[in-house]
Structure formats: structure tokens, C-alpha cells
């Protein structure tokens, strides 16, 4: 579906000269600073995959997405999206992809939402039957009927995001690019959006590339993750595997009976509230069963909870320590 081979993108930024003489000189002799945004990356994505494409600000995520959508031309390398070279066949590529940018909208602010949909129908030349069927389906799943006749400018953020994702799918694209699709949404709206993305992927086979800073989106939607930093891919593989390798720490919350408990060597007490203790340990040093057995020998346990590390904690560890 998507193949990226040895892609690089270099920006040349005009170097500003200091002072009046420098400004005059730059009018005739310009110097440029070379900024490598994406540095020789390669990956492929199969039809029907949901892939999380993540990294810190300035890592090269947005530049990559802009090259995949045809907005930017790569400095070197090759890209194909469903057999199309995006920057050479922009119109053809636009008809087979959908794009949602969390902080921007493709809808017309002064028009009722449904009128924006009608305009997109004309732009993409969607057959009437397909348009009506898709609009009916998305209206039911996303609850669009409550604001279809409301001007886009008056929609809440959650409503606007629902309208945007529906708009991006009206023409039945093969690929959907989602850039921060749940940004600013409350817990209920985020859950609704994630369920819809899963359903579209499962029922329609839409390939999804998701960029986000909300690691909960990655955990709940993606089986595969591509991690990019400073223009280079640091990791490309299963999310479960990276959690297994880098997520060996566990938090054990125990409610003890009685006074201050005896703690095993190598176990870190990270929080304490009366007889409730939060203990951090590493599975490479001791298993959960062994730790509980050792603590139970010397202390009376009333209740306990075991927590796995969240994905954002794991990603932070990778940034700090490397792979």
C-alpha cells in the first residue's frame, strides 16, 4: 500500500546577516543554512494496517506526512502510495487519501456542516448513491445529525473533529492520514473517535497512519509503531514487543495490615499513604509472584494491584537512553 525508500528532505534556510551592512550584503550575496528534516528513512505499510508514527516536536513526522500526501517533494528517495507517486500525481493521490489535521479543518467556516459535505461531494465527484450511503453511515456512528445544519464556525472542537473525519472519508479513500485526531477532546469524545477509527479500519479496510502526542491513541489503536527522532527512524515494529523489551518496570500497590511493612531489597518505595504503599520493581530482577511471596512471608497483605508502565513512560525511556 505505502512504500518509502531512502527518503530525505533538506530545507535551505536563508541565513540572516547582522546589522544594516549585513542586510544590504544579503540582498546580493545570500547564504543558506542546511536543515535536514528527514534523513534517509525507509518503511512499508501493508493494506489495512493502523500504524502509529510518533516522535518529539521537530523529529520529522509532519514533513514525512506532507511528502506522503504530495504537499512536499522529497530531496531524494522514492515514495509510492497505492502505486502513485504523490508529488507527481497530486490529483490522483488526493482522490485515494483522506487527511485530518487536528488543529486545522477542511470545512468552510460560514457554511452549515452539511453544505461543506455537499461541496466535497462535487470536488471529489462522488456518485450520489455512494455519497448518501456514506453520509448516512457516518451520521449514525458519529452522531452528526445534532449539528449538520450548524455553521462549522459554531461547532465545538469535538463536533468539528467528528465532522472533519467524516469529510475525509466521504469519497472512500484507501489511506487515511490522521494528525492529532483527538487533540483537545474530552475522554468521552476521544473514546468515540477511537471506536470510529477502529470500525472504519475493520469494516472498510482503510489503511491508517496516525501521528499523535497522546500515547493512549497509540496503545488503543495501533499494533505497530514507527518511532522517529532527529529525522531518523529509531524503531519500527510491534508495539507489544517494545513494551516487552522496555516495559520491564512494574508498580505494585499494596494495602498492608498493621504497621510499616518489611520491603524486599531492590524494591523502590515511590509513594506511601498510611498502610498503602506503591512499590516499583523490575521483572528482570524478580518476578511479580516471587516478590509477593517474599513480602507475604513477613507482612500481612490486605489487597494489591499490579500496574504495567504506560507507553509514554516507555517512549520517554527510549528517548533518554536510546535503543
Q: In sequence order, what DSSP letters do the residues of 126-153 get, joined into one string?
A: --HHHHHHHHHHHHHHHTGGGTTTSBGG
pLDDT of 271 = 84
Bridge partners for 5 per DSSP: 78
Domain 2-243: which CATH number of 3.40.50.300, 3.40.50.11030, 3.50.50.60, 3.30.420.130:
3.40.50.300
pLDDT of 68 = 96
CATH number of 248-307: 3.30.70
CATH 3.40.50.300 maps onto the chain at: 2-243
pLDDT of 21 = 67
pLDDT of 89 = 94
pLDDT of 270 = 83
How are beta strands 175-179 and 207-211 bridged, if at all? parallel
With H, G, I as helix, E, B as strand and everything else as coil, classify residue 37.
strand
pLDDT of 258 = 72
Q: Longest C-alpha distance within the chain, in Å?
A: 81
Q: What angle do CA 46, 51, 52 make, to 5 degrees?
A: 160
Query: What cell was used for 60?
Result: 520529522
CATH 3.30.70 maps onto the chain at: 248-307
Q: Backbone phi, then psi, for 173, in 5-degree steps?
A: -70, 155
Residues of the chain with confidence (pLDDT) below 50: none
pTM of the model: 0.80
Amino acid at each position: 500500500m505505502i512504500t518509502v525508500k531512502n527518503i530525505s528532505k533538506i530545507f535551505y534556510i536563508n541565513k540572516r546577516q547582522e546589522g544594516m551592512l549585513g542586510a544590504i550584503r544579503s540582498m546580493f550575496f545570500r547564504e543558506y543554512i542546511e536543515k535536514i528534516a528527514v534523513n534517509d528513512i525507509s518503511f512499508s505499510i501493508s493494506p489495512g494496517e493502523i500504524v502509529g508514527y510518533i516522535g518529539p516536536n521537530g523529529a520529522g513526522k509532519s514533513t514525512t506526512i506532507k511528502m506522503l500526501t504530495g504537499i512536499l517533494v522529497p530531496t531524494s528517495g522514492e515514495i509510492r502510495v497505492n502505486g502513485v507517486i504523490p508529488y507527481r500525481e497530486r490529483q490522483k493521490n488526493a482522490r485515494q487519501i483522506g487527511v485530518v489535521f487536528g488543529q486545522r479543518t477542511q470545512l468552510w467556516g460560514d457554511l452549515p456542516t452539511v453544505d461543506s459535505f455537499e461541496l466535497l461531494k462535487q470536488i471529489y465527484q462522488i456518485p450520489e448513491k455512494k455519497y448518501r450511503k456514506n453520509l448516512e453511515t457516518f451520521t449514525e456512528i458519529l452522531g452528526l445529525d445534532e449539528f449538520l445544519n450548524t455553521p462549522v464556525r459554531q461547532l465545538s472542537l469535538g463536533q468539528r473533529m467528528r465532522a472533519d473525519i467524516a469529510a475525509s472519508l466521504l469519497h472512500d479513500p484507501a489511506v487515511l492520514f490522521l494528525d492529532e485526531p483527538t487533540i483537545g477532546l474530552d475522554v468521552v469524545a476521544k473514546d468515540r473517535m477511537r471506536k470510529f477509527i477502529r470500525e472504519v479500519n475493520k469494516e472498510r479496510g482503510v489503511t491508517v497512519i496516525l501521528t499523535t502526542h497522546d500515547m493512549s491513541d497509540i496503545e488503543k489503536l495501533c499494533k505497530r509503531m514507527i518511532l522517529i527522532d532527529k529525522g531518523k527512524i529509531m524503531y519500527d515494529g510491534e508495539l507489544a514487543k517494545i513494551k516487552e523489551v522496555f516495559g520491564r518496570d512494574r508498580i505494585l500497590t499494596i494495602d498492608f495490615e498493621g504497621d510499616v511493612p518489611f520491603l524486599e531489597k531492590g524494591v523502590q518505595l515511590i509513594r506511601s499513604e498510611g498502610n498503602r504503599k506503591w512499590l516499583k520493581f523490575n521483572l528482570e530482577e524478580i518476578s511479580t509472584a516471587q516478590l509477593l511471596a517474599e513480602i507475604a512471608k513477613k507482612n500481612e497483605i490486605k489487597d494489591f494491584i499490579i500496574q504495567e508502565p504506560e507507553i509514554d513512560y516507555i517512549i520517554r525511556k527510549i528517548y533518554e537512553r536510546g535503543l
